Amino acid sequence: MSNEKEPLLTIEDLTVSFDGFKAVDGLNFSMDRNELRVIIGPNGAGKTTVLDLICGKTRATGGKILFKDRELRGMPEHKIVRFGIGRKFQTPSIYENLTVFENLEISYPSGHSVFGCLAFRRTPEVIERIESVAEAVFLKEMLEIEGAFLSHGQKQWLEIGMLLMQEPELLMLDEPVAGMSPAERERTGDLLQRICKNRAILIIEHDMEFVQRIAHKVTVLHLGKILAEGSMAEIQSNERVQDVYLGH
């Protein structure tokens, strides 16, 4: 624990095993606000599993996940979300038969109960918020288009937009630029830099150019454990990392 301020997210000895196979093995990890962290690692390193554990999709078999000093383990998914954690999935998960506007509206962080939903109104405030998020994720002109008709990259942006609507304090993105064109990657990089004010962003990514562009700090995961952690330059000069990626 640093003295100046508490980390936003602290993971201690996190472990999960599936039928004896330890996908994540005694992981220790922490993140501060305003930090943009990228997790890299070869396939099967347990990257996605770590995100699944934090957002409650997978139940850990041991260890602690502390977010704003509260234990997340055992909390149902929707409560974790309401507590301030947003998650983007590997394949874009948007609602194809709703419009962009409606996709964003669903993520507006109030009226989440049954009756809240019935009483929910599109106040000017809500509309304004949706429009500003849509603008941020480059979809302002597409508000009335159904999700199914967006391009792959636009779907990825829409999902990031849906997360922004929730105003999460921790944003987790699983391969946000997969399938994007170079131009789209660049815009996404700018977007991520812009939105990491006042929150932490945790990203899994394979595109090293992209990682280099955006990461404040990089964590390398291998066989469920942390292999190395540091700046991109440090990681690139780390021999163990090179071994894992390149062989011997």
Partner 1 sequence: MLEVKDLEVGYGQSEVIHSASFSAGKAEILAIMGRNGMGKTTLLKSLIGLIGARSGSVKVDGVEVSGLPSHQRVKSGLAYVPQGRMIFSHLTVFENLISGARGAVAKATFDEIYSLFPVLAEMRKRKGGNLSGGQQQQLAIGRALITNPKVLVLDEPTEGIQPSIIKDIARVLQEIRKMRDLTIVVSEQVISFMMDVCDRALVIDRGRFVHEDTRANLDPDKVKRWLAV
Partner 2 sequence: MKSILRKFLGGREGAVGIALLALIVFAVLPMTLDIFRLNLVGKYLTYGFVAVGLVLLWGNSGVLSLGQGIFFGLGGYCIAMFLKLEASSPANTAIQSTPGIPDFMDWNQITHLPAIWVPFRSLPFALLAVILLPTLIAFIVGAAMFKRRVGGVYFAVITQALALILSLGIDGNQGLTGGRNGITDLRTLWGWDIRTQSAQYVLYYVCGALLIGCILISRWVLSTRMGRLLLAIKDREDRVRFSGYDVASFKVFAFSLSAAMCGIGGAMFVLQVGFISPSLVGIVPSIEMVIYAAVGGKMSLLGAVYGTLAVNTGKSLFSENFPQLWPFFMGGLFIAVVMLFPNGIAGVWQSMRVRFIQLRHSAKRAPALASAPSAPTPLLEGSEV
* Residues of the shown chain interacting with partner 2 in the complex, contacts defined by CB under 8 A: 55, 57, 76-78, 81-82, 86-87, 89, 93-98, 102, 105-107, 109, 111-114, 117-120, 146, 148-149, 162, 166
Burial class (CB in 10 A: 0-12, 13-18, 19+), 12: middle
248 touches partner 1 by CB under 8 A: yes
What minimum distance in Å lies between the beta carbon of 98 and partner 2? 6
What's the one-letter identity of residue 35?
E
Burial 59-83 (b: 16+ CB within 10 A, else e): ebeebebbbeeeebbebeeeebbee
18 touches partner 1 by CB under 8 A: no
What's the one-letter identity of residue 206?
H
Q: Which is nearer to partner 2, 66 or 106 (CB)?
A: 106
Spatial contact of 175 and 206, defined as CB atoms under 8 Å apart: yes
> Which residues from 183-212 bind partner 1, rule CB under 8 A?
206-208
Q: Which is nearer to partner 2, 54 or 228 (CB)?
A: 54
Q: How many residues bind partner 1 (CB under 8 A)?
A: 24
> Which residues from 65-94 bind partner 1, rule CB under 8 A?
91
Q: Which does 241 bind (CB under 5 to 8 A by kind): partner 2, partner 1, none?
A: partner 1
To which H or E segment does residue 154 belong?
helix 152-165
Pairing of strands 85-88, 200-204: unpaired
What minimum distance in Å lies between the beta carbon of 99 and partner 2? 9
151 touches partner 1 by CB under 8 A: yes
Contacts of 228 (CB under 8 A, 6+ apart): 219, 220, 234, 235, 238, 240, 241
| Closest listed residue to residue 104, CA positions, set 57, 147, 151, 149 | 147
Instruction: List residues binding partner 1 (CB under 8 A).
Output: 19, 40, 42-44, 91, 151-153, 175, 178-179, 206-208, 223, 235-236, 241-242, 245-248
